[in-house]
Amino acid sequence: MATLTKNPNVNKWVDEMIALTKPDKVVWIDGSDEQLEALRDEAVSTGEMIRLNQEKLPGCLYHRTNPNDVARVEDRTFICTRTKEDAGPTNNWMDPKEMYAMLTPMYDGVMKGRTMYVIPYSMGPIGSPLAKVGVEVTDSIYVVLNMDIMTRVGVKAFENLGDTSDDFVRGLHARADIDPEKRYIVQFPEDNTIWSINSGYGGNVLLGKKCFALRIASFQGKNEGWMAEHMLILGVEKPDGEIKYITAAFPSACGKTNLAMLIPPKCYTEAGYKVWTVGDDIAWLKQGDDGKLYAINPENGFFGVAPGTNEKSNPNALHTAMKNSIFTNVAIDNSQNTVWWEKLDKNPPVDATEWKGAKVNGPEYIAQCNTLAHPNSRFTAPAENCPCISKEFNNPQGVPISAMIFGGRRASTTPLVYQSLDWVHGTYVGSAVSSETTAAAAGAVGVLRHDPMAMKPFIGYNVGDYWQHWLDMGKKLGDNAPKIFNVNWFKQDENGNFIWPGFGDNMRVLDWIIKRCEGKVDAVETAIGYLPKPEDINLTGIEDEVTPEIMDKLLKVDKDLWTKEIAEMRRYYKEDIADKGGRIPKELWEQLDRIEANLNK
């Protein structure tokens, strides 16, 4: 099939990829409904995808990945800059020449007997000055159909590129043998290039997402004066109609999709508050002509964690995924050919197919401590389905940001919410994010690890330079800089139960954050930042659950724990970052000194 663009840079690169991988057939994805429907039919006929109950789940498909291939693989993810120092201590690195030399034979002829799909796509609204173009070649229809939901795919994506520009990200993906020992997810930031092989799962292969929109884009953002962050974007509409926009960075599977689609408690909805979703995972941020910081969501859909999503926790996500969506590694309820996952409801299907494909008696199987759905099983759903999608979702200029939030899973130490003293301190707070690990990445779950700005797996260059870039952005923004906060929805009691109800009730914390931005509420200055006075968190309707004693625990700054926390940060900065080539700005060291001195006062 003929190429879809006159751009010689695109065509030359695609020809090179064809010569390397030697597919039997090449198909350019134009983005038309007919072409995509034909691909769905083909994937269903080969068994790659399963068509679900079309009455209950119209347009929905199911896909199961190899059980060895169910999450991002951070130990096999590389940033290949010319020098090791430029990749820095948080990334795996190899010399680009060596990496190309190692991978080229693996791709040689890898698509023989298969079809190569060439996917042009835009990250960001077509025509947006903040949008960027990518082209992914892949031998997976699953990738094509997911990219169609997650990005703006087809001929229209080339509009932004034009006929001569070379500014597009080149993504090469081949499934190969799904051999975990030969799996590589490799970014070459200086070449605008991504090579992925031996995986067929989500973030490893939907190259527009983490590989481009965070790893490559963070590198581009540093060079071009903007930011690519692992952040949701939401708008809080107040009773007077004004909408305040907030971003929040939490590590993978720590609540971004849930917060982005939050439904406020009754006392807020009745007063006229409403939350609108702009994005649930990634934000690209740039200073506007008026000096303020504006954010776009470069994505066009949601790749959300399925388990835990239900009519109570996140009805908006559930409804979003009820049509034209793809489900990966959830369970199938065979009696009606629908999907099920843990905590969807209290009635696991009796006649079930679990995520690995075995037919089981659901309840009995669960009783043996197995899960029907993989903990990192996901839905891929179009943003346009979302009942609370912001009317600014496609605004090419983005939305102005008033506050930025960091957070993570912390059983102790970190209070429910606090505000940083200023942008530099806020940058320190971001650098100090740590969180108990989840199933979103391969490896142990529940281990506390540092995850600066929730970007540890996604910073495409030296983490010290990344922190410097944050400081530089703050200088540029000056008085227009958003206020920076930290939250923790995951504080636990002695028995390991969460003491904050979370989900919709997180609105109560957003409310305080907005009032702080507007200068409408006081705070208590502590060594770690500004904390709410307990009476300033609205508990209407949950007074029984969140008693004054619990509120005390939620807002406590425990001197001993924080002294340990700061000591650990000092160790982290020195041993894990500075000693390993991380170029930490001196302003951040000074923050450590200041907090430590204040704790000892």
CB 470 → ligand SPV: shortest distance, Å?
Answer: 20
User: Cβ-closest residue to ligand GTP?
Assistant: 502
Q: Of the two residues 426 and 457, which places its CB atom closer to Mn ion in the complex?
A: 457
- Give the count of residues interacting with Mn ion (CB under 5 A): 2
Tokens of 591: 């923050």
- Give the count of residues interacting with ligand SPV (CB under 6 A): 9
Tokens of 550: 């619990």
Residue type, 241: G
**Among Mn ion, ligand GTP, ligand SPV, none, partner that 72 touches (CB below 5 to 8 angstroms by kind):** ligand SPV
CB 250 → ligand GTP: shortest distance, Å?
Answer: 5
Question: CA-to-CA distance for 195 and 598, rounded, in angstroms?
Answer: 48
**Among ligand SPV, Mn ion, ligand GTP, none, partner that 245 touches (CB below 5 to 8 angstroms by kind):** none
Pair type for strands 50-51 and 25-28: unpaired
Q: Which of 84, 81, 77, 107 is nearest to 96 (CA)?
A: 81
Binding residues for ligand GTP (CB under 6 A): 250, 252-258, 280-281, 304-305, 307-308, 313, 440, 489-490, 498, 502-503, 506
Phi, psi angle pair for 532, to nearest 5°: -70, 150
Q: Which of 204, 218, 268, 239 is nearest to 469 (CA)?
A: 218
* Burial class for 548, CB neighbours closer than 10 Å (0-12, 13-18, 19+): exposed
Question: CA-to-CA distance for 149 and 160, rounded, in angstroms?
Answer: 19
Pick the stretch among 77-85, 141-149, 203-211, 443-451 that binds ligand SPV (CB under 6 A): 203-211
Looking at residues 217 to 276 of the shown chain, list those that interact with ligand SPV (rule: CB under 6 A). Answer: 252
**Among ligand SPV, ligand GTP, Mn ion, none, partner that 209 touches (CB below 5 to 8 angstroms by kind):** ligand SPV
Position 209 contacts ligand SPV (CB under 6 A): yes
Torsion of CA 135, 140, 141, 145, to 10 degrees: -50
Q: Which of 139, 148, 229, 281 binds Mn ion (CB under 5 A)?
A: 281
CB 426 → ligand SPV: shortest distance, Å?
Answer: 22
Looking at residues 322 to 351 of the shown chain, list those that interact with ligand SPV (rule: CB under 6 A). Answer: none
Tokens of 258: 């849930």
Q: Of the two residues 264 and 301, which places its CB atom closer to ligand SPV in the complex?
A: 301
> Which of 60, 80, 211, 254 is an active site residue?
254
Position 203 contacts ligand SPV (CB under 6 A): yes
Q: Helix, strand or coil for residue 160? A: helix
Pick the stretch among 156-164, 202-210, 287-295, 464-472 that binds ligand SPV (CB under 6 A): 202-210
Position 374 contacts ligand SPV (CB under 6 A): no
Residue 549 makes CB contacts below 8 A (sequence gap 6+) with: none
**Among ligand SPV, ligand GTP, Mn ion, none, partner that 503 touches (CB below 5 to 8 angstroms by kind):** ligand GTP
The string of DSSP letters for 216-266 reads: IHHHHHHHHT-EEESEEEEEEE-TTS-EEEEEEE--TTSSHHHHHT----H
Tokens of 500: 């904050």
Q: Alpha carbon of 5 to those of 12, 211, 297: distances in Å?
A: 11, 24, 26
Q: Which of 334, 264, 288 is nearest to 52 (CA)?
A: 334
Position 409 contacts ligand SPV (CB under 6 A): no
Q: Of the two residues 281 and 465, which places its CB atom closer to ligand SPV in the complex?
A: 281
Position 72 contacts ligand SPV (CB under 6 A): yes
CB 232 → ligand GTP: shortest distance, Å?
Answer: 7
CB 456 → ligand SPV: shortest distance, Å?
Answer: 11
Position 299 contacts Mn ion (CB under 5 A): no
Residue 137 makes CB contacts below 8 A (sequence gap 6+) with: 14, 17, 21, 116, 117, 118, 119, 171, 172, 173
CB 409 → ligand SPV: shortest distance, Å?
Answer: 13
The answer to whether 64 and 357 have CB atoms below 8 angstroms apart is yes
Position 303 contacts ligand SPV (CB under 6 A): yes
Q: Of the two residues 62 and 303, which places its CB atom closer to ligand SPV in the complex?
A: 303
**Residue 386 annotated among the catalytic residues of the structure:** no
DSSP percent split of the chain into helix, strand, coil, nearest 5? 35, 25, 45
**Among Mn ion, ligand GTP, ligand SPV, none, partner that 532 touches (CB below 5 to 8 angstroms by kind):** none
Q: Which residues bind ligand SPV (CB under 6 A)?
A: 72, 202-203, 209-210, 252, 281, 303, 440
Catalytic residue numbers read: 254
